[in-house]
A and B are shown apart, each in its own frame.
Chain A
């Protein structure tokens, strides 16, 4: 057996790969792409919600939103660390985000235009993320799996606080309920796109499944998400904006309408409503923080030099 065959057999036995173990280049590359894309999504994902922190309708809602946004920063950090165990540097990862070489979830290229969007993002966007992330707790690369366990523990609060925002709006005035409905109308389809292209159009699915990086296909997860979400929408009294959505007794699943894949690829290619704004905001934060990073490093170097002269 050569190294490659041994690796494939090892993975097939459901064993975990750790940073210093031998792995094929393609496995390493796939992981770097997926984990960094995931980390970038957490970080860019802070922007649409951060936008509402100062306008939250109460101090409690503001505290909750702040805590959620802070969690997303933490998720980004767990994932960047996991990615770095594969031999890439944090600086390179961030440079790839800023240059557009690395992708992030296309959902964050849509604007959050009303307070109800804070509810919808928590419910649908974090909900879809959880659906994607729970199986990743068992992914074959150890550091990624461990990061996902931490992430998943924190996500359920995100989804619940979002649902509760919508619940409050739906039990409120006519205008508040209309605000919630308008929000769902905008986010429903982009949320379904979060699971990625259809299985037959997904370039990476087959290999990622074999390597046990992915444990379910895009379409399986999308269907699971829809089946879980429709009854929750009914509970809220909101209408999902899909006339083709209906329960299929035979399949035991909901049937749903065609996703606008043209829109999906349009946004992925950088032409969504907020792509440029999001990257510009990240770049600006990075540039404006440069002096802090430099000053902190200079300070610690100076202190280290001082203590070594004292010691001598």
Chain B
């Protein structure tokens, strides 16, 4: 089949209730954003799983590469002083 005839892929994010952020739930094909929302409603929120939907073209996402995992995230590993548990304080200091 001709690839240009295929509907583009959209990533779907759903806010499950007010006060929470949108979370990625999956993806779907749709010809445009409006239809993507319609389809996302049918595919991902048949049981009141959400109060708001975001869709965005999958092609618009830039992701970090798994090969860069170490150089991106490893440096945080030896900075244990960023965690409160690093600091040993006398017991007299309560609630800090």
A residues neighboring B (CB under 8 Å) = 18, 20-22, 67, 70-71, 74, 77-78, 81-82, 84, 89-92, 95, 146-147, 150, 154, 293-294, 296-297, 299-300, 303-304
Contacts of A84 in B (CB 8 A): 9, 27
User: Known interface pairs A18-B66, A20-B65, A22-B66. Does A91 touch B1 (Cβ–Cβ under 8 Å)?
Assistant: yes
| B46 contacts partner chain A, Cβ-Cβ < 8 Å | yes
Cβ 8 A contact of A296, one of B26, B35, B42: B35
Return A43 CB to nearest CB of chain B, in Å: 13
A78 touches B66 (CB 8 A): no
A81 touches B26 (CB 8 A): yes
Return A267 CB to nearest CB of chain B, in Å: 29
- Given A89-B6, A154-B47, A299-B32; 11 other pairs, CB 8 A cutoff: A74-B42, A74-B43, A78-B43, A84-B27, A90-B29, A95-B1, A147-B26, A150-B26, A297-B31, A300-B31, A304-B32
Cβ 8 A contact of A20, one of B1, B43, B47, B63: B63
Cβ 8 A contact of B46, one of A22, A71, A81, A82: A71
Contacts of B47 in A (CB 8 A): 154
| B56 contacts partner chain A, Cβ-Cβ < 8 Å | no
Return B9 CB to nearest CB of chain A, in Å: 7
| B59 contacts partner chain A, Cβ-Cβ < 8 Å | no
Contact with A along B6-47 (1 / 0, CB 8 A): 110100000000000000011111011001000000110011
Contacts of A20 in B (CB 8 A): 63, 65-66
A91 touches B32 (CB 8 A): no
User: Known interface pairs A21-B66, A22-B66, A71-B46. Does A78 touch B26 (Cβ–Cβ under 8 Å)?
Assistant: yes
User: Known interface pairs A91-B1, A304-B32. Does A297 touch B7 (Cβ–Cβ under 8 Å)?
Assistant: yes
Grouping DSSP codes into helix (H, G, I), strand (E, B) and loop, the B interface class, with mixed when no group exceeds half, is mixed
Cβ 8 A contact of B35, one of A21, A91, A300, A304: A300
User: Known interface pairs A20-B65, A74-B43. Does A89 touch B3 (Cβ–Cβ under 8 Å)?
Assistant: yes
Return B24 CB to nearest CB of chain A, in Å: 9
> Can you list 22 A-B contacts (CB < 8 A)?
A20-B65, A20-B66, A21-B66, A70-B46, A74-B43, A78-B43, A82-B26, A84-B9, A89-B6, A90-B6, A91-B6, A154-B47, A293-B5, A293-B7, A293-B31, A296-B7, A296-B32, A297-B7, A297-B31, A300-B31, A300-B32, A300-B35
CA distance A20 to B67 in the complex (A): 9
Contacts of A67 in B (CB 8 A): 46
CA distance A304 to B35 in the complex (A): 14
Q: Most chain-B CB neighbours within 10 Å: which of A20, A67, A77, A147? A: A77
